[in-house]
């Protein structure tokens, strides 16, 4: 399977996990030291444990915002098992888009599985 397809499938799995509020499904998608920089206030979530705690809080919110990331391009390295994913994201609560923007994610293949090392979000609307 190509890196492009593998990463797109992993992103689809992440999107499903967010929609289903499934922390157990998110866990293996994140590298141990994964970093997420949020889109609006540039808060930094450092490490898998911190990200899972943040998603747990998001899943408990009322109304719950469901985030979806849609990859536009995947750029893979020819010299290392790494790739960039560029795309668009949106958050929907109670059937209405409450935020959206662009994102970039850095992935690394470790023991045959692609995991997220870093994600950077930009809120545009």
Domain ranges, ordered by start, for the chain: 3-123
Mean of all residue pLDDT scores within the chain: 97
What is the residue-wise DSSP string for 54-67? HHHHHHH-SSPEEE
**pLDDT given for residue 32 in this prediction:** 97
Of 17, 32, 26, 19, nearest in space to 110 by CA? 32
What residue has token string 């992103």?
Answer: 11
Burial class of 37 by CB neighbour count within 10 A (0 to 12, 13 to 18, 19+): middle
pLDDT class of 5 with cuts at 50, 70, 90: very high
pLDDT in tens, 18-55: 999 999 999 999 999 999 999 989 999 999 999 999 99
CATH dotted code for 3-123: 3.10.450.50
Q: What is the pTM of this model?
A: 0.94
Q: Phi and psi for 27 in degrees, rounded to 5? A: -45, -55
Residue 98 CB contacts under 8 Å (≥ 6 apart), including other chains = 65, 91, 92
**pLDDT given for residue 30 in this prediction:** 98
């Amino acid at each position: 399977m190509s890196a492009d397809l593998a990463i797109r499938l992993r992103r689809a799995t992440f999107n499903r996990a967010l929609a289903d509020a499934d922390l157990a499904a998110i866990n293996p998608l994140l590298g141990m030291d994964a970093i997420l920089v949020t889109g609006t206030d540039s808060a930094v979530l450092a490490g898998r444990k911190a990200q899972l705690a943040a998603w747990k809080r998001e899943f408990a919110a009322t109304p719950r915002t469901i985030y979806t990331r849609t990859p536009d391009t995947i750029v893979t390295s020819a010299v290392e098992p790494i790739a960039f994913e560029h795309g668009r994201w949106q958050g929907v609560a109670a059937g209405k888009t409450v935020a959206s923007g662009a994102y970039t994610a850095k992935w690394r293949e470790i023991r045959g599985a692609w995991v997220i090392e870093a994600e950077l979000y930009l809120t545009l609307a």
